[in-house]
């Protein structure tokens, strides 16, 4: 791992995604930031030859429940470090651990652990914490345990916020939950970013929640009331509004045609690619957990063990990017936006992350010619280098 305190680094000979364009330039890094972009840069101590590679902004996953046998509901600080290193290996530079509906004390404890681990992880950075519930609709609960769903509860929100401390929070709320609009208004006033989902809400309920400050929709088209010609419902409001829409680009949660429909209706700037990954991600078939629920994984399918409901995914953003390009034909410079610039903007981090530009954090994902991860940098630190595919060399000058 590279210590950025006294080292300057340059990436050479790569194609670099720069604001809807790709150019062959060098990227200079100093003090954890991108300090220069240009040709034949000099004066850098460490050098990466990335010939044949493409450099994109570091990918940001704002909705993940875990991977490599780590479940965010019960994760320790050490577990979150394991998760952080795994995400670095798949090109993610920042993520929001997502906690599903659980006993109140466990949700509070999990939030506190995420907050405390933020300063400790050494791979992908923990950028915040996502609470998926418990104020969700029983009709569209998905893999959420029914026994832990509840009506809007400001006291629980206060306890979670206290546990989070200065860790940014986002929360998924159903617009049809009793007291949702009032709660969302209060959450937004406290700086909590609110997403709408897991809901049987009608169009007006959803529109009201957008008016009081909700800014996104959780895994759109999944775990939500479908579109109806006379009552557009939550999905109609999602498609009509300017709010961002999360989507899971694994070809299982959404048919590729629906992803193309989202692209046409929302535009590339309003789409947020998420993994919704679970602890089985990166592992083989078997039995795993999602919070308190037992999950069976066979191939690419993760299901509740009773076979009734899909339970998260085995996706990584690296694979999701490949899928998006394959499903839509988008070129790289546009396909990266739902995984880089768009989540950074939604989370209010667009002055620091999500773009390759001078002054931005040096969070970079380097893809080799086969679109595998070659290198991952977080704040200039080299947090992952592929052992099997090394298209260049690192030299200390």
Residue ranges per domain, the chain?
8-56+354-396, 59-280+315-346
Q: With 60 as the cut, is the pLDDT of residue 302 above it? A: yes
Confidence band of 392 (pLDDT split at 50, 70, 90): very low
Measured between alpha carbons, how far is residue 74 from residues 69, 98, 163, 230, 260 in Å?
11, 11, 15, 43, 36
User: What architecture is domain 59-280+315-346?
Assistant: Alpha-Beta Barrel (3.20)
Is 205 in contact with 176 (CB distance < 8 Å)? yes
Taking each continuous run of H as one helix and of E as one strand, the counts in the chain are 10, 25
Q: With 90 as the cut, is the pLDDT of residue 224 above it? A: yes
Residue closest to 364 by CA, chosen among 7, 24, 88:
88
The tens digit of pLDDT for each residue in 136-182 reads: 999 999 999 999 999 999 999 999 999 999 999 999 999 999 999 99
Q: With 80 as the cut, is the pLDDT of residue 18 above it? A: yes
The chain-wide mean pLDDT, for the chain, equals: 94
Confidence band of 4 (pLDDT split at 50, 70, 90): low
The tens digit of pLDDT for each residue in 195-222 reads: 999 999 999 999 999 999 999 999 999 9
User: Can you tell me the distance from the alpha carbon of 290 to that of 306, in angstroms, rounded to the nearest whole number?
Assistant: 14
Q: Does domain 8-56+354-396 sit in CATH 3.30.1540.20? A: no
- Angle of CA points 72, 313, 353, to nearest 5°: 65
The H-or-E segment that residue 217 falls in is strand 216-217
The tens digit of pLDDT for each residue in 46-63 reads: 999 999 999 999 999 999
Confidence band of 390 (pLDDT split at 50, 70, 90): low
pLDDT of residue 387: 85
Q: Looking at 17-21, 281-285, 343-347, 369-373, which range is the least confident one? A: 17-21
User: Can you tell me the distance from the alpha carbon of 332 to that of 207, in angstroms, rounded to the nearest whole number?
Assistant: 34
């Amino acid at each position: 791992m590279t210590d950025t305190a006294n080292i300057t680094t340059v990436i050479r000979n790569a194609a670099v995604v720069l604001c809807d364009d790709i150019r062959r330039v060098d990227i200079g890094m100093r003090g954890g930031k991108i300090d220069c972009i240009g040709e034949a840069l000099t004066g850098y101590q460490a050098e990466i030859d990335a010939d044949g590679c493409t450099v994109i902004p570091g990918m940001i996953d704002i909705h993940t429940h875990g991977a490599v046998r780590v479940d965010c509901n019960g994760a320790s600080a050490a577990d979150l470090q394991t998760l952080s290193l795994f995400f670095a290996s798949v090109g993610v530079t920042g993520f929001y651990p997502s906690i599903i509906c659980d006993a109140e004390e466990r949700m509070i404890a999990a939030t506190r652990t995420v907050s405390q681990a933020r300063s400790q992880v050494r791979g992908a950075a923990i950028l915040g914490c996502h609470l998926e519930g418990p104020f969700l609709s029983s009709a569209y609960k998905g893999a959420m345990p029914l026994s832990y769903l509840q009506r809007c509860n400001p006291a629980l929100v206060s306890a979670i916020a206290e546990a989070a401390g200065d860790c940014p929070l986002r929360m998924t709320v159903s617009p049809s939950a009793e007291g949702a609009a009032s709660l969302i208004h209060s959450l937004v006033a406290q700086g909590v970013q609110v997403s709408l989902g897991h809901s049987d809400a009608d169009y007006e309920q959803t529109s009201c929640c957008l008016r009081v400050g909700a800014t996104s929709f959780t895994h759109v088209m999944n775990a939500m009331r479908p579109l109806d010609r006379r009552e557009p419902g939550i999905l109609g409001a999602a498609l009509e509004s300017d709010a961002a829409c999360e989507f899971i680009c694994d070809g299982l949660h959404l048919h590729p045609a629906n992803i193309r429909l989202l692209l046409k209706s929302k535009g590339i700037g309003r789409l947020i690619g998420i993994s919704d990954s679970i602890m089985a991600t990166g592992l083989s078939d078997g039995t795993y957990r999602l919070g308190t629920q037992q999950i069976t994984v066979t191939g690419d399918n993760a299901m509740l063990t009773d076979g009734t409901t899909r339970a998260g995914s085995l996706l990584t953003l690296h694979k999701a990017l490949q899928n998006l390009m394959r499903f839509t034909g988008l070129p790289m410079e546009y396909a990266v936006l739902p995984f880089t610039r768009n989540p950074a903007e939604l989370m209010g981090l667009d002055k620091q992350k999500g773009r390759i530009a001078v002054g931005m954090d040096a969070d970079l994902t380097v893809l080799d010619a086969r679109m595998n991860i070659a290198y991952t940098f977080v704040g200039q630190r080299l947090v992952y280098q592929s052992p099997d595919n090394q298209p260049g060399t690192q030299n200390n000058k």
